[in-house]
């Protein structure tokens, strides 16, 4: 089979994604390669397709038991003979798999590095006909990577043992150093490196100020009632509170953190994967090795410590390529918390500096006034060609104004209090607040007291934060967060430097606008599609439960969406849906077709179809399959028999099981075809000359049937 045939037959896809094709060709030419692709980029296809084009066994080295299990499950569901060997298997299970390896029945064997390198195991593997070796999560070989695994450093033995077998190393995260390390450690220095774009255009990016977080989350989820999502929190306690808050509102939410016992953790995770829990509220302990493709949103309750983690976490949304949302809550207090965590950590000073610098990049993302995707991509050394149009900044570019005078007021307030006050007290002074704190220090006598009355507290807070962010003011965390002047402050005070700031927008306005932006008016067609999608989703869940599989293993959201769009009602149409391969069709095709037919039936009234014109064929087919004659169908549907026949001919051409022969006696067929040949007709020519030649003996319906059956 060619690689295209394998892709279609087993995975149900028509085309390769960027780079997949080149990578597979390289592997098929027996060259080693290194593949860098973001999570959800489609790495697995890169070795699974050549595994099936080759006729031997493909070894897949994978570090995580959960991942192995998921991938093997997904392959089996596609009718591919695959298995995994790791420490969780019994001796008997393992022997069974080894037998299948020897007989050549098994095409992909997933194996943990520990198992592979255990005594004598390689000797066994050597006896097999290995045609490809894939090293998944290959950044684990590098001490530079964030997930180093000592066993991985022994893997160089593979290339030595199988010098002729092509090896492909895959990873979603690898900077230049790690990349070099992977090649060196695996002994594949000649490998061709493929770096896919790290852009995930289907992920919408937005940031909101960290206020009323729980309430905002509730509203956010209320608009996504059936969609899976993850909320990342900083502390364990936080996850429990947020989950509790959501449950009170009837949202199926659970918390997850490293403090929960392993048994419960795995149950909760399982329930999430099976769509029984809608929202997982978790610390960063959650997500590694989760292959759930239909996560529709990821929310960060507080600021992550660096861009890598952030990108990896939001990357768990939308792996199926469908639009998904990400939301980050951000406040200055979060930055302070994070900074304190770093300062108080056990890290050596130089590492602290690195961490602080990384935090700073994260802050830049949160405060960005340019396209947020540009900020992310530039972090990964990628140059975005244009603004993305799918982030909050692109949708609503910030408006700036000259804030020099306003800034001078704040700076002079800081100067006159001898740089000893924190933000809250400074705002009280500027606004002329009559409170104890102010009187205690006699601040009501200052020249700056009340010079900023015209602005509300939250406006000042916003502007001072911007001043801090743009380096016009410093903050001394070790002096109870008092604000300090620096060289830039003095330039501004002396009138040597102008200060542009982003116009404050009340929080409610900002939030309301952001939420409005997301869902557009849906067209009638989309409403129907969504209704059908929901039906198919329910069916998927039912089938998944029957087979004890995660729903997305049966069909991904992307596949269901394509199905709801195309509404296939026969085999050919069903196989044209992206993600429906032959095995999936055999197992589930008919059930989904029946569901679609039911949906159509329920949504039509009498003869006229209420929902969409495209359904007219479906309805005719439905009645035909129930055994109604052409005349009965015509009567029932209030159509002419000629129209019904034209439907049946079209359905026949599309591959439906329609016996046109039954609709025309053979002498009539012979007579019509004889006339057609006399006239030198071709299939597809207009029927009028034929009709006239036969002097109206047969109506157009009959002619159409005869020509459709005509074997030229």
Question: Considering beta carbons, is residue 371 or 633 the nearer one to Zn ion?
Answer: 371
What b-and-e string marks burial along 16-30, b requiring 16 or more CB atoms within 10 Å of the CB?
beebbbebbebbbee
Question: Considering beta carbons, is residue 49 or 366 the nearer one to ligand ADP?
Answer: 49
Our finding on whether 293 is near ligand ADP (CB under 6 A) is: yes
| Residue 194 neighbours by CB under 8 Å, 6+ apart | 19, 22, 23, 26, 33, 34, 35, 36, 37
Cβ atoms of 27 and 168 closer than 8 Å: yes
Q: Least Å distance between CB 42 and ligand ADP?
A: 3
Cβ atoms of 36 and 194 closer than 8 Å: yes
Our finding on whether 646 is near ligand ADP (CB under 6 A) is: no
Q: Least Å distance between CB 486 and ligand ADP?
A: 45
Question: Considering beta carbons, is residue 294 or 368 the nearer one to Zn ion?
Answer: 368
Which helix or strand (DSSP H or E) is residue 377 part of? helix 372-379
Our finding on whether 294 is near ligand ADP (CB under 6 A) is: no
Q: Which stretch binds ligand ADP (CB under 6 A): 25-33, 146-154, 317-325, 396-404?
A: 317-325
Q: Least Å distance between CB 639 and Zn ion?
A: 51
CA gap 44, 60 in Å, rounded? 10
Q: Which of 45, 60, 155, 488 binds ligand ADP (CB under 6 A)?
A: 45
DSSP 172: S
Question: Considering beta carbons, is residue 205 or 488 the nearer one to Zn ion?
Answer: 205
CA gap 538, 541 in Å, rounded? 5
Question: Considering beta carbons, is residue 375 or 681 the nearer one to Zn ion?
Answer: 375
Q: Which of 26, 39, 86, 604 binds ligand ADP (CB under 6 A)?
A: 39
Backbone angles phi, psi at 543, to 5 degrees: -65, -40
E-state strands within 393-535: 400-402, 473-476, 482-485, 500-502
Question: Considering beta carbons, is residue 63 or 701 the nearer one to ligand ADP?
Answer: 63
583 binds, among Zn ion, ligand ADP, none (CB under 5 to 8 A by kind): none
Q: Which stretch binds Zn ion (CB under 5 A): 230-238, 300-308, 364-372, 556-564?
A: 364-372
Our finding on whether 581 is near ligand ADP (CB under 6 A) is: no
Q: Least Å distance between CB 21 and ligand ADP?
A: 9
What b-and-e string marks burial along 274-297, b requiring 16 or more CB atoms within 10 Å of the CB?
bbebbbbbbbbebbebbbbbbbbb
Our finding on whether 320 is near ligand ADP (CB under 6 A) is: yes
What b-and-e string marks burial along 381-418, b requiring 16 or more CB atoms within 10 Å of the CB?
eeebeeebebbbbbeeeeeeeebeebbbbbbbbbeebe
Our finding on whether 138 is near ligand ADP (CB under 6 A) is: no
For the record, the structure tokens of 299 come out as: 């929310």
CA gap 168, 152 in Å, rounded? 14
Our finding on whether 110 is near ligand ADP (CB under 6 A) is: no
Tokens 């220095």 -> residue:
189
Question: Considering beta carbons, is residue 82 or 393 the nearer one to Zn ion?
Answer: 393
Tokens 């037998």 -> residue:
99
Question: Considering beta carbons, is residue 198 or 624 the nearer one to Zn ion?
Answer: 198
Q: Which of 13, 84, 311, 585 binds ligand ADP (CB under 6 A)?
A: 13
DSSP 496: S
DSSP 258: T
Bridge partners of residue 130, in order along the sequence: 57
Tokens 């000592």 -> residue:
150
37 binds, among Zn ion, ligand ADP, none (CB under 5 to 8 A by kind): ligand ADP
Our finding on whether 573 is near ligand ADP (CB under 6 A) is: no
Our finding on whether 240 is near ligand ADP (CB under 6 A) is: no
Dihedral sign, Cα of residue 538, residue 539, residue 545, residue 548: negative
For the record, the structure tokens of 528 come out as: 């129907």
373 binds, among Zn ion, ligand ADP, none (CB under 5 to 8 A by kind): Zn ion
| Subset of 390-409 contacting Zn ion (CB under 5 A) | 391, 394
391 binds, among Zn ion, ligand ADP, none (CB under 5 to 8 A by kind): Zn ion
Cβ atoms of 581 and 10 closer than 8 Å: yes
Q: Least Å distance between CB 37 and ligand ADP?
A: 5
For the record, the structure tokens of 681 come out as: 């007709």
The per-residue DSSP string of 644-666 comes to HHHHHHHHHHTT----GGGGS-H
Our finding on whether 371 is near Zn ion (CB under 5 A) is: yes
Question: Considering beta carbons, is residue 204 or 321 the nearer one to ligand ADP?
Answer: 321
Tokens 């006699």 -> residue:
442
DSSP 522: P
Q: Least Å distance between CB 205 and Zn ion?
A: 7
Q: Which of 3, 10, 32, 43 binds ligand ADP (CB under 6 A)?
A: 43
In Å, how far from its chain's centre is CA 620? 38
472 binds, among Zn ion, ligand ADP, none (CB under 5 to 8 A by kind): none
Our finding on whether 16 is near ligand ADP (CB under 6 A) is: yes
DSSP 130: E
DSSP helix/strand/coil, 229 = strand
Our finding on whether 228 is near ligand ADP (CB under 6 A) is: no
Q: Least Å distance between CB 82 and ligand ADP?
A: 14
Our finding on whether 467 is near Zn ion (CB under 5 A) is: no
Our finding on whether 50 is near ligand ADP (CB under 6 A) is: no
Tokens 């592997």 -> residue:
27
For the record, the structure tokens of 627 come out as: 């055994």
Question: Considering beta carbons, is residue 376 or 623 the nearer one to ligand ADP?
Answer: 376
Question: Considering beta carbons, is residue 370 or 468 the nearer one to Zn ion?
Answer: 370
Tokens 């036969």 -> residue:
694
Q: Which residues of this chain interact with Zn ion, rule CB under 5 A?
A: 371, 373, 387-388, 391, 394
The contact set with ligand ADP (CB under 6 A) reads 13, 16-17, 20, 37, 39-45, 293, 319-321, 556, 578
């Amino acid at each position: 089979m060619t690689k295209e045939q394998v892709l279609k037959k087993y995975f149900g896809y028509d085309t390769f994604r960027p780079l997949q094709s080149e990578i597979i060709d390289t592997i098929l030419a027996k060259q080693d390669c290194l593949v860098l692709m973001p999570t959800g980029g489609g790495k697995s296809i890169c070795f699974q397709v050549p595994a099936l084009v080759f006729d031997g066994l493909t070894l897949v080295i994978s570090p995580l038991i959960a991942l192995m299990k998921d991938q093997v499950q997904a392959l089996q569901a596609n009718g591919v003979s695959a298995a995994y060997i790791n420490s969780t298997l019994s001796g008997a299970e393992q022997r069974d798999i080894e037998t299948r390896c020897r007989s050549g029945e098994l095409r992909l064997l997933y194996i943990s590095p520990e198992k592979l390198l255990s005594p004598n195991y390689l000797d066994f593997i050597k006896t097999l006909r290995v045609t490809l070796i894939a090293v998944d999560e290959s950044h684990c070989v590098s001490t530079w990577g964030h997930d180093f695994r000592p066993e991985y450093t022994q893997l160089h033995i593979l290339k030595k043992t199988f010098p002729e077998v092509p090896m492909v190393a895959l990873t979603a995260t690898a900077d230049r150093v790690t990349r070099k390390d992977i090649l060196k450690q695996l002994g594949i220095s000649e490998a061709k490196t493929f770096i896919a774009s790290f852009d995930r255009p289907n992920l919408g990016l937005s940031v909101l100020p960290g206020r009323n977080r729980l309430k905002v989350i509730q509203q956010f989820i209320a608009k996504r009632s059936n969609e899976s999502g993850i909320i990342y929190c900083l502390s364990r306690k936080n996850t429990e509170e947020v989950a509790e808050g959501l449950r009170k509102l009837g949202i199926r939410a659970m918390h997850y953190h490293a403090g929960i016992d392993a048994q419960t953790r795995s149950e909760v995770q399982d329930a999430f994967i099976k769509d029984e829990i809608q929202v997982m509220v978790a610390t960063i302990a959650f997500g590694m090795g989760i292959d759930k493709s239909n996560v529709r949103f990821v929310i960060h309750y507080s600021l992550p410590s660096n861009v890598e983690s952030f990108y990896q976490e939001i990357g768990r949304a939308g792996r199926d390529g469908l639009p998904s949302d990400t939301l980050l809550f951000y406040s200055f207090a979060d930055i302070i918390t994070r900074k304190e965590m770093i300062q108080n950590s056990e890290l050596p000073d130089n590492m602290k500096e690195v961490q602080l610098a990384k935090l700073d990049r994260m802050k830049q993302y949160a405060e960005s006034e340019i396209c947020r995707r540009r900020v992310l991509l530039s972090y990964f050394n990628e140059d975005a060609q244009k603004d993305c149009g799918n982030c909050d900044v692109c949708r609503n570019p910030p408006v700036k104004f000259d804030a020099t005078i306003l800034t001078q007021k704040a700076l002079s307030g800081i100067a006159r209090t001898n740089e000893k006050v924190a933000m809250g007290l400074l705002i009280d002074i500027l606004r002329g607040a009559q409170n104890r704190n102010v009187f205690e220090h006699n601040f009501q006598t200052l020249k700056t007291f009340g010079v900023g009355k015209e602005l509300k507290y939250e406006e000042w807070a916003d502007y001072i934060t911007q001043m801090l962010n743009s380096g016009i003011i410093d903050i001394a965390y070790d002096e109870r967060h008092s604000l300090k002047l620096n060289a830039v402050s003095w330039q501004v005070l002396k009138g040597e430097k102008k200060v542009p700031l982003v116009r404050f927008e009340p929080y409610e306005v900002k939030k309301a606008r952001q939420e409005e932006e997301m869902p557009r008016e849906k067209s009638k067609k989309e409403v129907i599609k969504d209704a059908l999608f929901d039906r198919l989703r329910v069916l998927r869940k039912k089938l998944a439960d029957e087979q004890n599989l995660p729903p997305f293993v049966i069909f991904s959201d992307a596949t269901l969406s394509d199905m709801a769009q195309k509404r296939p009602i026969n085999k050919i149409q069903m196989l044209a849906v992206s993600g429906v391969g032959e095995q999936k069709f055999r197992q589930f095709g008919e059930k989904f077709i029946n569901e679609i037919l039911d949906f159509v039936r329920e949504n039509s009234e009498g003869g006229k179809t209420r929902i969409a014109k495209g359904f007219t064929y479906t309805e005719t087919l439905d009645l035909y399959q129930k055994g109604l004659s052409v005349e009965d169908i015509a009567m029932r549907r209030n159509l002419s028999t000629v129209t019904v026949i034209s439907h049946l001919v079209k359905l026949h051409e599309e591959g439906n099981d329609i016996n046109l022969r039954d609709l025309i006696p053979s002498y009539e067929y012979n007579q019509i075809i004889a006339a057609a040949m006399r006239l030198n007709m071709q299939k597809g020519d207009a029927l009028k000359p034929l009709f006239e030649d036969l002097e109206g003996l047969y109506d157009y319906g009959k002619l159409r049937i005869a020509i459709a059956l005509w074997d030229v």
